[in-house]
Amino acid sequence: MLKHEDNERLVRVGPGTPAGEMFRRYWQPVLLSSELPETDGEPVRVRLLGEDLLAFRDTNGKVGLVDAYCPHRRAPMFYGRNEECGLRCVYHGWKFNADGDCTDLPTEPPDSPVKRNVRITAYPTVEKGALIWAYLGPKDTMPPTPDYEWLRVPAANLHVSRTNQACNYLQALEGGLDTAHSSYLHNNKLGDNTYLRNRDGAPKLEIEKTDYGYSYISHRQADGGEYVRVYHYVMPAQQMRGNFTARTGGPAKYPKVDGHVWVPMDDETTCVFNFFYGDDKDVVFSNDVRDHFDDDYGRGKDDMIPGTFWLKRNPSNNYMIDRQVQKTQTFTGIKGINTQDFALQEGMGPIVDRSKEHLGSSDRAITTMRRMLLEATRTVEDKQTPPGVEPATHNHFRPHDKFVPAGEDWRLFLKDDIKAKW
C-alpha cells in the first residue's frame, strides 16, 4: 500500500505541486499534429497539468501554446483571430505571437510602454512523431527535445492516436505497467489455450533499473520454453512493449513496438497518446491496417464520441458490457482491449485510495515505478535533474517479445532485438 501523504504527492499535478513540478521538467506531448492542420486556422483548447491553454498554428507554421485568457481583461483567447503570425483577442484587439510577445496594442497610444511590458504566458513547442510537444518548466532547466526511437520513424511506419481518460494519470500508468492482468482482462477467447498469455496467468517479473526508468521482463511458462516480454518504463509516464510474436507463438504479421504516453490534463483527467511503429522499413502500415488495430483496441473512429477523443463506451453506459458475451466468449464482455482497461481504471474512481490496497508479487513493476516517481519529485525539489530527461538516456533501446526455448539465456537470445534500429 501507499501512504496517504505519498499518494497525494504523486496524484496532484497542478502548478506548485511536487508531481506537477516534476512533470514540468519533461517535454510532454500535447496534441496530435493533425489537430492543428492549417496555418492561421482555428485554435484548440488544451488542458495540461492543471492549466487552461490554447494552441494555434501561425502563418509560418509555428505552433504557439499560450494562456487561454488574454492578460488584458482575461477574455477567452479561443475566440481570437489567428492572423499574420499572431493570435489577436477579439475583445480589444490585443495581439500576441507564439512566443508570448505583444505585437499590437490598438487601444493604447503608439508610444505606450504597455506593449513592451505585457506578455501572454507561452510555452516552447516542437513537433516530432506526429505530435506537438511542449515544455512547461523553468527555462534554465529545459532539456533537449525528446529522442525516443519512435520519434525517428518515418510516417509510413508509425501510427499515433489519442484518447482521453476520466481518471488520474497514475492509475492509468499503473494499468499499462501491469503485465499480469492481460491473462484475464484481455482474455478475448475463453478456453483457447493456444494464446501464450492464457497458458500461464502468473508471470514472473525481473526489474532492472536504468537511467531513464527501468526495463522489466515478464516470464510466462510455455511448452518447450517460456514466453518472454521485455518492457520499458520511461520516466515519467511512458510504457513500451514489443509485439513481434503472434498471440499463438509464431512471428507476428506486423512485427512492431507498441506504447503509450499518459499526460495529466489535471488531477482527474488524462490524455493518452497511443503509438505503434514497425520493426524496420519493410513494416509499413496502410490506412486499413491502422484502422484494424485501432478498432481492435476499441479506439477506432466509430468508438469515439464525434468531434472528441472520449469513448462512446464509458461509465454512463457501463462500457456497453454484454453479460452473455462475458459468459460465453470473453472474460469481460466489453469490446476493445483499451476499453477494458478504461472500464477498470476509471471504475476505481477519479483518484484511487492506495492505502486500502493489498499488493502481490506481480505488482513489483508498479511499486518500483511509484518509488521512482516519489524520488523524482524530491530530486526536483532539491533542484536536481530527474531521470530520463536527457535524450541520451532514452534513444538507444526498444522492447521485444519472443518465445525462448528451454535452456536458452533470454538476455543472450534477445540481445540484438532490444537495441534501437531506427
* Per-domain residue ranges of the chain: 28-134, 149-413
pLDDT of residue 308: 98
Give the E-state strand segments of 279-360 in sequence order: none
pLDDT digits (tens, 9 = 90+) for 222-254: 888 999 999 999 999 999 999 999 877 788 999
**8 Å CB contact between 64 and 46:** no
Give the mean pLDDT of 253-257. 96
Report percent pLDDT > 90 for the chain: 91
Nearest to 24 by CA among 123, 106, 137, 146: 137
Q: Averaging pLDDT over each range in 125-129, 187-191, 246-250, 359-363, which range is the top one?
A: 125-129
What's the mean pLDDT when you consider all of the chain?
96
Pairing relation of β-strands 81-82 and 63-67? Answer: unpaired
pLDDT digits (tens, 9 = 90+) for 263-274: 999 999 999 999
Distance, in Å, from the CA atom of 391 to the CA atom of 211, rounded to the nearest integer, reads 11
pLDDT digits (tens, 9 = 90+) for 141-164: 999 999 999 999 999 999 999 999
Give me 412's grid cell.
543472450
Give the mean pLDDT of 290-312. 97
Answer yes or no: is pLDDT of 344 > 70: yes
Give the mean pLDDT of 60-69. 98
Give the mean pLDDT of 4-13. 97
Other CB atoms within 10 Å distance of the CB of residue 84: 13
**Cβ within 8 Å of residue 78, ≥6 positions away:** 43, 45, 54, 68
Give the mean pLDDT of 328-345. 97
**Crossing angle of helices 337-347/169-177, nearest 10°?**
130
pTM: 0.96
Answer yes or no: is pLDDT of 140 > 70: yes
Answer yes or no: is pLDDT of 197 > 70: no
Nearest to 83 by CA among 74, 72, 96: 96
Q: Where are the alpha helices (DSSP H) in 135-168?
A: none
SS3 label, residue 187? coil
Dihedral sign computed on CA atoms, order 67, 71, 73, 78:
negative
**Crossing angle of helices 364-381/169-177, nearest 10°?**
130
Report percent pLDDT > 70 for the chain: 99
Give the mean pLDDT of 326-339. 97
Other CB atoms within 10 Å distance of the CB of residue 181: 15
pLDDT of residue 250: 82
pLDDT of residue 193: 74
Answer yes or no: is pLDDT of 392 > 80: yes
pLDDT of residue 249: 74
pLDDT of residue 30: 98
pLDDT of residue 106: 96
pLDDT digits (tens, 9 = 90+) for 68-92: 999 999 999 999 999 999 999 999 9
HEC assignment per residue over 287-306: HHHHHHHHHHHCCCHHHECC
**Per-residue confidence at 196, pLDDT binned at 50, 70, 90?**
low
Homologous superfamily, domain 149-413: Naphthalene 1,2-dioxygenase Alpha Subunit; Chain A, domain 1 (3.90.380.10)
CATH class for the domain made up of 28-134:
mainly beta
Answer yes or no: is pLDDT of 7 > 70: yes
Answer yes or no: is pLDDT of 135 > 90: yes
pLDDT of residue 138: 98
**Cβ within 8 Å of residue 190, ≥6 positions away:** 328, 329, 330, 331
pLDDT of residue 198: 66
